[in-house]
């Protein structure tokens, strides 16, 4: 009997988990498959664990496993979940990723048809429309620096070094035995891309499942997005050091350095940040979105450089 473990890292996810679990447990499962949920709690301080107890798996599922540990970040939480996974297939999801009906079956049917160890499947994600995503949020995934599913339209495979999105992806458990998620990243950014780059070097093929869909139920404020981009910049230096023979850190021209300095620490920066905070929820201003998020990204890179020995 083929088996699948669904590994979800959770950190202060009590508010969103009821949506995630309801959608998950309502999924039809192909005949003969045994499916189990593994929740890895990353040191939550809210009622995440209590919420899990209120949402037991249906009788058609194997009993849920809950793993707990200190707050180390998503890579460590995923690895703690993977450490207890015993299934043939692992489906990785985010705690705020709500899969639509048929998505789980699509992943399982894919792996039944593609049994080779070096074949995995990437599922589609879009914002949960019930959140009323802001223009800033929509720009982040349509031209901005968040998950770029637009680039995969019409594609059957994706480069694992660019599109290994750990919030909705499935692969063989045996592939992760020797190489789990790198835990050098303690805040947001790059841990899944790093693993994807390593797997790509081993010949891993990442197929795109256009017949799947998950809803990302996470509302980002302007400050949330700016903070995200800052941490992406900080962690890029960690990523570069892990792959010293590959140029991953974008090179800045003198003009770009001056521009981002102006956008970071001048009266103009204060005005643009004020303008963004008051318009991003109502108006789409791609130029402003782009300049501010790039400045935050480079601010993170510079902070990482200052802290680096």
- Tens digits of pLDDT across the chain (309 residues): 899 999 999 999 999 999 999 999 999 999 999 999 999 999 999 999 999 999 999 999 999 999 999 999 999 999 999 999 999 999 999 999 999 999 999 999 999 999 999 999 999 999 999 999 999 999 999 999 999 999 999 999 999 999 999 999 999 999 998 779 999 887 788 999 999 999 999 999 999 999 999 999 999 999 999 999 999 999 988 898 898 888 887 777 777 666 767 667 677 778 888 899 999 999 999 999 998 999 899 888 887 766 555
Query: In the chain, how many domains are there?
Result: 2
- What string of H, E and C letters represents the secondary structure of 127-148? ECHHHCCCHHHHHHHCCCCCCC
Cα–Cα distance for residue pair 158/196, rounded to 1 Å: 11
74 and 178, same domain (yes or no): yes
Cα–Cα distances in Å, from 19 out to 26, 92, 99, 272? Answer: 11, 17, 10, 36
109 and 258, same domain (yes or no): no
297 and 161, same domain (yes or no): no
125 and 272, same domain (yes or no): no
35 and 182, same domain (yes or no): yes
52 and 90, same domain (yes or no): yes
Out of 150, 183, 216, pick the residue that ends a domain. 216
How many of the other CB atoms lie within 10 Å of CB of 101?
11
Q: What is the pLDDT of residue 245?
A: 87
- Residue 248 has which token pair? 């991953």
Q: What is the CA radius of gyration of the chain?
A: 20
Q: Give the angle subtended at the CA of 60 by the CAs of 3 and 47, to the nearest 5°.
A: 95
Out of 198, 216, 234, pick the residue that ends a domain. 216
Domain limits at 298?
Answer: 222-307
200 and 252, same domain (yes or no): no
175 and 106, same domain (yes or no): yes
Out of 196, 216, 236, pick the residue that ends a domain. 216
Cα–Cα distance for residue pair 114/108, rounded to 1 Å: 10
163 and 251, same domain (yes or no): no
133 and 269, same domain (yes or no): no
48 and 185, same domain (yes or no): yes
Nearest to 208 by CA among 146, 277, 151, 248: 151
Say what the pTM is.
0.93
Cβ pair 41, 81 in contact under 8 A: no
238 and 187, same domain (yes or no): no
How many of the other CB atoms lie within 10 Å of CB of 218?
17
């Amino acid at each position: 009997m083929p088996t699948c473990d669904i590994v979800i890292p959770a950190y202060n996810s009590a508010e969103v988990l009821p949506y995630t679990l309801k959608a998950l447990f309502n999924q039809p499962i192909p005949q003969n498959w045994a499916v189990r949920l593994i929740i890895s709690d990353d040191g939550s301080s809210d009622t995440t664990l209590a919420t899990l107890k209120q949402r037991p798996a249906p009788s058609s599922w194997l009993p849920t496993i809950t793993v707990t540990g200190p707050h180390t970040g998503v890579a460590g939480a995923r690895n703690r979940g993977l450490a207890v996974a015993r299934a043939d297939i692992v489906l990785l999801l985010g705690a705020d990723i709500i899969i639509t009906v048929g998505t789980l079956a699509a992943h399982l049917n894919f792996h039944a048809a593609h049994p080779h160890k070096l074949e995995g499947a990437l599922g589609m994600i879009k914002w949960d429309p019930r959140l009323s995503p802001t223009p800033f949020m929509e720009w982040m995934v349509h031209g901005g620096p968040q998950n770029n599913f637009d680039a995969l339209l019409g594609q059957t495979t994706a480069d694992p070094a660019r599109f290994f999105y750990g919030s909705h992806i499935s692969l063989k458990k045996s592939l992760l035995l020797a190489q789990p998620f790198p835990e050098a990243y303690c805040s947001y950014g790059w841990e899944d891309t790093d693993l994807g780059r390593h797997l790509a070097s081993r010949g891993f093929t990442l197929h795109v499942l256009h017949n799947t869909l998950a809803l990302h139920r996470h509302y980002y404020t302007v400050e949330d997005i700016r903070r995200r981009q800052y941490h992406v910049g900080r962690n890029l230096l960690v990523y570069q050091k892990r792959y010293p023979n590959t140029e991953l850190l974008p090179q800045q021209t003198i003009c770009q350095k001056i521009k981002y300095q102006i956008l970071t620490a001048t009266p103009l920066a204060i005005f643009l940040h004020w303008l963004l905070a008051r318009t991003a929820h109502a108006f789409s201003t791609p130029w402003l979105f782009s300049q501010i998020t790039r400045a935050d990204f480079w601010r993170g890179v510079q902070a990482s450089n200052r802290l680096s020995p």
